[in-house]
Chains A and B, each alone.
Chain A
Amino acid sequence: MLNILSKYGIYAALIILILVFSLASEAFLTQINILNVLRQVSIVGICAVGMTFIIITGGIDLSVGSMIGLSGMILATLVSMGYDPLLAFGVTMLVGSLLGLLTGGIINSIGIPPLIATLGMMTILRGMAYVISGGLPIYGIPDSIKWLGQGYVAGIPVPVILMAIVFVVGWIVLTRTVFGRQVYGVGGNDEASRLSGVDGNRVRYYVYFLGYALATFAGIILMARINSGQPRAGTNYELDIITAVVLGGVSIMGGIGSLPRVFAGVLIMGILANGMVLMNVNEFVQWVVKGTVLLAAVSLDRLAHRAKGHGSN
């Protein structure tokens, strides 16, 4: 029973949540509001894909929110200095990805636990986001960039489409490729993996590279949506992202997780936020609810684990 609950419970929770809010507010189940929720979760969603890879290997990334802020600042600065938007976009992506390799390197070669390594990076990157402009926002974003955050294709917001692509590609990589296998393997048992010829360090480099690249991309989309580079952008996003991933059943111990469920976790977080706004719930109360949801999700995960442990002979 608990087994089924841990497998499909997240979808059941999602459906119940949708039912409750659609009964509570007429504005909830409208086309405008649905697209609105999806657009709001797109930043968290894109980063959740990278975070899923990282957590499955047994790591964590606390610096994701800071990377979101920094990448927006870098791109905004470059375009405001008159560089070609495409070139600026490329440079920003490159810088963000290299920072991911740096973090992977700190974890691999010095052996600092991911929690501490990314905690340090979180502070450093946020500081850099402020240093770039002396703490001031940067305006003057060209329309081509704005399109990433504000455009529509066939009536669907561009960020939503991008999030969908990232999820689908991530899901294919995780379930259908050799690399995906290795991500699960390294998180499941690093030493057994090593003795099977799977280089855990290489896999870790890749997942932090991927996580930072996606955070950089998400930061660009966020900047495009708010029309400016804001050094504060992305603050506390790591909380929402990790919550969504853990809610989606990804084990913080590594080795276990699936992206479709993470997507459900992202939607639950987004719908909770949106529904509570529609019902005029105080922002501070929203925090309490979000934290409670996280603990409830992890508790469920642990209970299911315990039930399984007893079932096996």
Chain B
Amino acid sequence: MDKPVLSIRHISKSFPGVAALQDVSAELCPGEVLGLVGENGAGKSTLIKIVTGAIQPDQGEILINGTTVAHADPFDLISLGVSAIYQEFSLFPEMSVAENLFYGQELRAGPFLKRKEMVHQSRQLLERVGTNISPEKLVKELSVGHQQLVELAKAISRQAKVLIMDEPSAPLTTHEVEFLYQAVRKLSAEGVAIIYVSHRLEEVFDLCSRVMVLRDGQHVETGPVSDFDRGRLIELMVGRTLEQEFPPGMVKLGDVRMEVRHLKSADVQDVSFSVRSGEIVGLGGLVGAGRTETVRLIMGADRLISGEILVDGVAQSVRSPQHAISLGIGLIPEDRKHQGVLLGETIRFNTTYASLGKFSQAGFMDNQKERKAVEAAMKVLRVRATDMEQLVGNLSGGNQQKIVLAKWLETDADILIFDEPTRGIDVGAKQEIYNLMRELSAAGKAIIMISSEMPELMGMSDRIIVISDGCSVAELSKQEFDQARILHLASTGSREAQKEAEAAC
């Protein structure tokens, strides 16, 4: 075996109230891809921050090529060959690819930039990650997938020997993930050692040679990927056996709670469907097909050009989110951090924020009533937090999602729209969200769910509406669920529908 390029020895780190890491050790050899998995809060981020020098461990040491690194900051570690890329990009959209790659390390002749040389070297860097995009293009003109590759090229531009990839595939489409795979394989063949963090376990099996499981800040197991299967990996991550992943649906459905007919807006062409009390209706389709835009219309967040929204059989012109809320509609948005929660406010603040009227008299907050309700909601939804005064920004993704849900339960919403309900949420918390959705539908709520994860869409939905190019093109009952068919409809459905429409004219 090669000599390890990175050794992590007995690292411990505590934050006030939590032991984030306890006595964790690992070794990484050149060319190796190590999968790092664990639930949110397991200590993955802390470990990464320690390895990149963003924070200092309380105990233990980091060795690079056998030499101890002490009190190094991120700049020191970059110069030692440790780079990291994250799911959120750090590129400048208005600058060219080459300018981004050499930002902060520009090649110069005196005060002047050596543009040609930088473009030339950029091309070589981009080739190393397996792409031939032009270095002179502006970053904002690139697809998200290509931007991720630029990010990768930037990370290796300073002779990286160790590359840490934290959820690199999160913003990418299935197609774009392929490019990422190729780039990772290419770099590993060149001898770059990679730590790959992902919630998507398939990627770990596809890419990694070894996998390391963390749970509650402790090292659980490390071994060759071939020693694990998906079920065992999940068990090790959550520390218990999981029940059936998707809880079964209701037998008896209630009345139609909401129906939309021929919705049309700037981004939606023609969408119609209905949802019953006790039912979960899944909206399937490709990213950008207009599913999020459709539910935003129902929520009154965007302007409707034509079409009807019926709640309990009565046509409503939903003018604003306030109006939608008064009709009993609630939206758990896809972009949780920017649209779902107020990160800088407390659990208490967030939970009652959409139902302040209920917790006030003559404009004055009834603090006692509020506290009681928040306490009860935290119990029902099993929110894991120190107390209700904790900032939502400090919670894990799963717990943040529960707070968004709590907010809508306080408004007594009974038409709930989940847009990608488990995005960025780890395995154990995913299960909890699924169970909660089922509990809610069993209690008679009508649920609309957008999901781009096929197993989730087919496992959770009682019925699936396929949306393609802004049109609802098909409706599938549970017996008709079929991954290939859904994908086919999602990619070609609108063209067929268009043909039909033309024929009708």
Contact = CB atoms under 8 A, between A and B. Distances in A.
A180 B45 CA distance: 35
A49 to B, nearest CB: 18
Contact of B363 (A178, A195, A198): A178
Nearest to A184: B345
A199 B357 contact: no
Given A188-B344, A192-B339, A195-B339, A178 B360 contact: yes
A212 B43 CA distance: 50
Contacts of B341: 189, 192
Contacts of B147: none
A197 B322 contact: yes
B365 A312 contact: no
Interface string A172-205: 0000111111101100110111111111000000
Nearest to B333: A195
A112 B345 CA distance: 27
Contacts of B46: 313
Interface string B362-375: 01110000000000
B339 A313 contact: no
A312 B349 CA distance: 19
A302 B274 CA distance: 50
B4 interface: no
B199 interface: no
A310 B54 CA distance: 8
B321 interface: yes
Contacts of A176: 364-365
B344 A197 contact: no
Contacts of B324: 197
B394 A195 contact: no
B331 interface: yes
A312 B394 CA distance: 6
A311 interface: yes
Contact of B342 (A177, A192, A197, A311): A192
B320 interface: yes
Interface in A272-313: 310-313
Number of contact residues on A: which range applies? Answer: 20 to 34
Contacts of B43: 313
Interface string B229-261: 000000000000000000000000000000000
B399 to A, nearest CB: 12
A178 B15 contact: no
Nearest to B43: A313
B342 A193 contact: yes
A197 B321 contact: yes
B20 interface: yes
A192 B408 CA distance: 13
Contact of B15 (A184, A196, A311): A311
Given A196-B321, A255-B344, A181 B349 contact: yes
A176 B394 CA distance: 25
Interface string B39-74: 001010110010000110000000000000000000
A256 B333 CA distance: 24
Given A196-B321, A197-B325, A313-B20, A181 B356 contact: yes
Interface in B290-348: 299, 301, 320-322, 324-325, 331, 333, 338-345
B7 to A, nearest CB: 23
A189 B407 CA distance: 15
B407 A196 contact: yes
B86 interface: no
A185 B341 CA distance: 10
A311 B18 CA distance: 11
Given A195-B301, A310-B54, A178 B365 contact: yes
A196 B320 contact: no
B393 interface: yes
- Residue with the highest number of chain B CB atoms closer than 10 Å, among A185, A189, A197: A197
A192 B365 contact: no
A188 B46 CA distance: 27
Residue of B20, B45, B339, B349 most packed against chain A (CB within 10 A) = B339
A255 B344 CA distance: 7
Given A196-B354, A199-B320, A312-B394, A188 B301 contact: no
Given A177-B365, A195-B321, A196-B321, A255 B345 contact: yes
Contacts of B339: 189, 191-192, 195
B345 A178 contact: no
B474 to A, nearest CB: 29
Contact of B353 (A177, A191, A198, A199): A198
A180 B299 CA distance: 25
Interface string A90-122: 000000000000000000000000000000000
Contact of B55 (A179, A193, A310): A310
A182 B356 contact: yes
A264 B345 CA distance: 23
Nearest to B391: A312
A180 B360 CA distance: 12
A189 B45 contact: no
A209 to B, nearest CB: 16
| Highest count of chain A CB atoms <10 Å: which of B49, B354, B393, B411 | B354
A258 to B, nearest CB: 14
Contacts of A180: 365
Nearest to B332: A195
A185 B360 CA distance: 16
Contacts of A256: 344
Contacts of A178: 356-357, 360, 363-365
Given A184-B345, A189-B338, A255-B345, A196 B363 contact: no
B301 A194 contact: yes
B438 to A, nearest CB: 24
Interface string B453-468: 0000000000000000
Contacts of B342: 184-185, 188-189, 192-193, 255
A197 B354 contact: yes
A7 to B, nearest CB: 14
Nearest to A179: B363
The residue in A177, A182, A188, A195 that gathers the most chain B C-beta atoms within 10 A of its C-beta is A195
Contacts of B393: 312
A311 B394 CA distance: 10
A184 B320 contact: no
A196 B353 contact: yes
Q: Which of B18, B333, B342 has the most CB of A within 10 A?
A: B342
Contacts of B357: 178
A185 B16 CA distance: 27
A156 B46 CA distance: 56
Interface of A: 176-182, 184-185, 188-189, 191-199, 255-256, 310-313
Given A192-B341, A197-B354, 17 more contacts: A178-B356, A178-B360, A178-B363, A180-B365, A185-B345, A188-B345, A189-B339, A193-B342, A195-B299, A195-B331, A195-B339, A195-B340, A197-B320, A197-B321, A197-B322, A199-B322, A256-B344
14 contacts: A177-B360, A177-B365, A178-B356, A178-B360, A181-B349, A181-B365, A189-B341, A189-B343, A191-B339, A195-B331, A256-B344, A310-B55, A313-B43, A313-B45
Top-5 shortest CB links A-B: A196-B354, A197-B322, A188-B342, A197-B325, A178-B356
